Structure 1
Amino acid sequence: MNSRKLFVFFVFLASAMMVEAKAEGTYRIYFDADQVLGASSADAIYQGVDAAFAQAGHKLGKRAVEFVRLNHRGNPKRSWLNLTKALADENSLAVIGGVHSPPYITYRDKINASGVVLLLPWSAGAPITRAIGDRNSIFRVSVDDSKAGAFLAEQVLATEACKSVVFLVWNSGWGRSNLPHLEKAFSATGRDVPQHFLFDTGLGESGAQVIVDNVQKLNADCMIIVGNLAEEALLLNELHASGVKIQVFSHWGILLGDFVDRVPAEVRNYLDFQFIQTCALQQEAAGNPVLKDIFETPPIAALEGKSELSDIPSAVGFANAYDLASLLIEAGQALPEEGGIGQHRQQLVQALQGLEQPVDGILKRYVRPFSKYSPDNPDAHEALGREDLCMARFTDDNRVAIAAAKK
C-alpha cells in the first residue's frame, strides 16, 4: 500500500471511529448552502433556524447547540464534501440544506447510505425525499415539486385568459424533474400538453432571443417557467424587450437572490408575473400567533426593527426553516443521553417519523408531519402538501405580497 492510500485509509478509519465515539455536551447543526449567489436565501434559512432555537434556549434535548455554516456555491460536489465533513464530526447531528436541489438529487443515495440527517427548508426537487429503498434520512418542510408542478398547472388552467400555454424549463436535473408533473396535470384535464423549451445554465442574450422568438411564434397567452435566477431574469427581460405579451407563472427558483434588481417592476407588471411559494403570507394575514410572537418579541438580533414577513429578505426561507427547526427541537426531546453520534442520528430519524405532540409553526400546526418511509409511502418525509402552496407577486417597491386570484 503506497503512502497516499495509507493516508486515505487512516483518515477514513479516524472518521468512522469519531462517528462511533460518545457524543457529549454539544450538538452541531451544519448548514450547507450557496452563500454567494444565494446569500439572501442562505441568511433567511439560518435566521429561521436561529430564531426557533433562540426561543428554545439554543438547546436540543438536554444539550447545547452550535451552528456551522458551510458554502457549497451551488456546486453538487462541494455540497457532498460539506456533508462528509458533517458526517465525520462526532457532534454533528443534522445538516440543514439550502436552496439548490441538484446537490441532493445527485447524492441522495449516498446521503441515505451514510446516515446523514438532511433537513430541507427550501430545495424542492421531488426525487430528493423519495429513496429507492427503505433507508431514508432526508426530511422536507418546503415546496415539493411532485405537487408544485400540478399546482402551477392548476393556476394556469383556472385562468380563462390562458387558452394557449408554453413551458420554459431549466435544463438541469431539478428543472427537468418538474416537466412530467406539469404535463400530467394538463393531460389529466384533456387539454393538449403544451410545448416546452429547455434553456441551459449560462444562457446568453443570443440564446435567450432564440427562445423568445420561438415563444412568440406560438402566440401563447400564458407561460409556466421553471428556472434559476440568472437565466430566468434574462428571459423575462427579453420577453419584455421583444414586446411579447404573455402572463408568466413561475416556480420559486428566482427567490434565492437579487431578482427584483435584475427584473424591474415595469417588466414584472408587463408580464403579470407571479410565483409559487408556501403560504406564510396568508398565515400572517390571518393573524398567525407564532408570527405575532416572533415580531413582538424578536428572539434574534436580525429580526429587531422588523414588523412583518415582507421586511425579511427571502422570507419564505425564514418561515420554512423556522418550522423545520421547531420540528427538530420537538424530535430532540426523544434523543438518548448516551451512545455514539451514529445512534443519535438514527434516533432522530425515528423521532421525526414518530412525532406525537402537535407543533405550532408559521405555516400551520403540524400533526404527525412525517411517518416511516417506504417506496410505497412516497410522501412520508414531506411535511407540507398541496394545501400549503400559494401564489405570490412582487409589489412595485419590491416586497412580496399575496397574488390576486386569477379569472
Structure 2
Amino acid sequence: MSSGSARSGIAIQRGIEIALEEINSKGGVLGRPLQLLVKDHHGNPARGADNIDDFAKIDDLVAVVGGLHTPVALYELKNIHVHKMIYLSPWAAGTPVVENGYRPNYVFRLSVRDEYAGGFLVEKALARGFKRIALALENTGWGRSNERAMKAALEAKGIRPVALSWFHWGTATAADALNDVMKSKPEAILLVANAPEGMAIVEAMAARPEHERIPILSHWGITGGTFFDAAKQAIAKTDLTFLQTYSFIDRQKESKAQHVINAYLQRYRDVKDVRSIFAPVGTAHAYDLTHLLARAIEKAGSTDRPSIRTALESLPTYHGLVRVYNPPFSDQKHDALDVGDFNLSQFAPDGAIEHLRLE
C-alpha cells in the first residue's frame, strides 16, 4: 500500500471495494455484509507474516487478499497454513506461491503463474525473430521462479540465454545488470522487475546510443507503481512491451466491464476516464476474486475457513470480468488463469496500457 509498488495495492483495494459494494447492496453473504480491512507490509516479508498473524486474531475473518510481491507471499505461506487462512492472490506470480507443498492448500490465485509467463515471454521474443536473448532478473523468489521457466522454454527450442544478470531491490544494481547483459550483444532482453528497478533499467537503455538500444520484453511488475510517470521520456526511446491479462480499454464494450468502469469512475475521483485506470490487472483480478469468495462463503454456509476452502475448490462456472471460469478452481487446480489469458501490451503516449494488436 506504500513505496514503489503502491499503485498495485491501491488497484487491488479498489477492485475489492467495487465488488463489495455490489455484494453488500444485495444483502451481503449469509445475510451479513462483507468488510475490507487493510494492512500494509511495505514489501517487507517479515511484516507480511506479522500481518497474517494479526489478521488471524480477528473474529469472522474469512480470507486475506495478497499483493504484488512474490517474496512476501512465499514468506507468509507458513503462517497462512498454521492459521488455516484462505489466501487469495490477485497479483504475485511466483509458481511456488500456489505449488507450495501444503496439503490442504489454502492459497488460491487469479493471476499470472510464472511457469506459464516465462514461456509466454520467450515465445513472443522468438516470434519476433530474436535468437540471442538475455535475461535480467531481480534476485528474489520471483526472479528465480522466472529463471527456471524462461530457461526451460528456451532450452525446449534448443536455445540458451546469451547472458543472465541479477539485481537486488533498489535501483543501484539494476542499471549495472543491463550493462552486464549488453556485453554479450543480445538481440532482446527478458526483464523481471518491479517499477523502481524497471525504471532504472529502461532509463539506462534509453541513455545508450540509439543503434545500441534493443527491445525489452518485461514481466508485469513494472506496471504496479508510477513507472510510466517517472520514466515516460525513456519509455518513448525504447522498444518496451510487457505481459498483461486484462484491459478495461479493450473490453469496455462488454456489459460487466462497463459496469465496473462506471463504478470505478464514480467512486475514485483521481481517475478521469477508462484510459486513466492504473494497474488494471490488479483491479480486475481482485474484483473477480472477491465475487468468487462470496460465492464460496454462501456455498459453505459458514465463515469457517476450512469449509470455505473446500467450497472454493468446488464452485460452479462463473462468468467473471476477466473470463468465464469453468470452473475457477478444483482440488488439483488453484490457479484460475492460464496462458490463454495472457497478452503482450505497451504504454500509449498518454500512459494508458494497451494490448498490442499484432504480436
- Residue 324 of structure 2 corresponds to residue 347 of structure 1: no
CA distance in 1, matches of 2:163, 2:202: 18
CA contact (8 A) 1:169 1:199 kept: yes
Aligned to 1:84: 53
CA contact (8 A) 1:50 1:300 kept: no
* C-alpha distance 298-404 of structure 1, shift in aligned 2 (>3 A): closer
Q: Any idea what SS the aligned residue of 2:235 has?
A: helix
Structure 2: stretches of 5+ with no match in the other structure = none
2:321 to 350, 354, 362: 362
Root mean square deviation of aligned Cα: 2.1
Letter in 2 for 1:313: F
CA distance in 1, matches of 2:5, 2:179: 30
* C-alpha distance 130-288 of structure 1, shift in aligned 2 (>3 A): same
Aligned to 1:50: 17
- Residue 110 of structure 2 corresponds to residue 141 of structure 1: yes
Aligned to 1:248: 216
CA contact (8 A) 1:222 1:247 kept: yes
Aligned-residue offset at 1:296: 4.6
CA distance in 1, matches of 2:271, 2:177: 44
Letter in 2 for 1:326: H
Aligned to 1:11: none
1:294 to 247, 260, 281: 260
Aligned-residue offset at 1:297: 5.7
CA distance in 2, matches of 1:297, 1:40: 19
CA distance in 2, matches of 1:99, 1:150: 20
CA contact (8 A) 2:62 2:86 kept: yes
Aligned to 2:341: 388
For structure 1, which segment, 289-298 or 43-52, has the greater mean C-alpha deviation from structure 2 after superposition?
Answer: 289-298
CA distance in 1, matches of 2:340, 2:48: 31
1:259 to 203, 221, 227: 227
For structure 1, which segment, 58-67 or 73-82, has the greater mean C-alpha deviation from structure 2 after superposition?
Answer: 58-67
CA contact (8 A) 1:183 1:194 kept: no
CA distance in 1, matches of 2:315, 2:288: 14
CA distance in 2, matches of 1:366, 1:210: 42
- Residue 38 of structure 2 corresponds to residue 72 of structure 1: no
Aligned-residue offset at 1:283: 5.5
More strand by share: 1
CA distance in 2, matches of 1:305, 1:45: 15
Letter in 2 for 1:398: G
CA contact (8 A) 2:52 2:76 kept: no
CA distance in 1, matches of 2:69, 2:222: 11
Letter in 1 for 2:221: G
Letter in 2 for 1:44: A
2:6 to 28, 34, 39: 39
Letter in 1 for 2:122: A
CA contact (8 A) 2:49 2:75 kept: no
CA contact (8 A) 1:40 1:314 kept: yes
Question: 1:16-54: per-residue Cα shift (whole Å, max 9, x none)?
Answer: xxxxxxxxxxxxxxxxxx333332221111111111121
1:166 to 115, 134, 150: 134
CA contact (8 A) 1:283 1:363 kept: no
Q: How does 1:168-247 map to 2 (within 5 A)?
A: 168-204=136-172, 207-208=173-174, 210-243=176-209, 244-247=212-215
CA contact (8 A) 1:72 1:79 kept: yes
Q: Any idea what SS the aligned residue of 2:36 has?
A: strand
CA distance in 2, matches of 1:249, 1:305: 28
Q: Any idea what SS the aligned residue of 1:143 has?
A: coil
CA contact (8 A) 1:51 1:299 kept: no
Q: How does 1:92-103 map to 2 (within 5 A)?
A: 92-103=61-72
Question: 1:171-193: per-residue Cα shift (whole Å, max 9, x none)?
Answer: 11111111010000011112234
Residues paired across the two proteins, number: 355
CA distance in 2, matches of 1:209, 1:230: 11
Question: 1:318-371: per-residue Cα shift (whole Å, max 9, x none)?
Answer: 11111111111221211335xxx5xx1011101110002x22222111121101
Q: Any idea what SS the aligned residue of 1:290 has?
A: helix
Aligned to 1:26: none
CA contact (8 A) 1:54 1:299 kept: no
Letter in 1 for 2:308: L
Letter in 2 for 1:388: D
CA distance in 1, matches of 2:228, 2:158: 36
- Residue 336 of structure 2 corresponds to residue 336 of structure 1: no
TM-score (norm 2): 0.92
Q: Any idea what SS the aligned residue of 1:148 has?
A: helix
Query: Larger C-alpha radius of gyration, 1 or 2?
Result: 1
CA distance in 2, matches of 1:258, 1:304: 14
Aligned to 1:150: 119
CA contact (8 A) 1:359 1:367 kept: yes
CA contact (8 A) 1:290 1:360 kept: no
Q: Any idea what SS the aligned residue of 2:38 has?
A: strand
Aligned to 2:92: 123
CA distance in 2, matches of 1:305, 1:254: 20
TM-score (norm 1): 0.82
Q: Any idea what SS the aligned residue of 2:344 has?
A: strand
CA contact (8 A) 2:242 2:344 kept: yes
* C-alpha distance 45-303 of structure 1, shift in aligned 2 (>3 A): farther
CA contact (8 A) 1:225 1:251 kept: yes
CA distance in 1, matches of 2:226, 2:166: 23
Aligned to 2:290: 325
Question: 1:109-145: per-residue Cα shift (whole Å, max 9, x none)?
Answer: 3312320111111111110111314221111111111
Structure 1: stretches of 5+ with no match in the other structure = 1-33
Q: Any idea what SS the aligned residue of 2:4 has?
A: coil
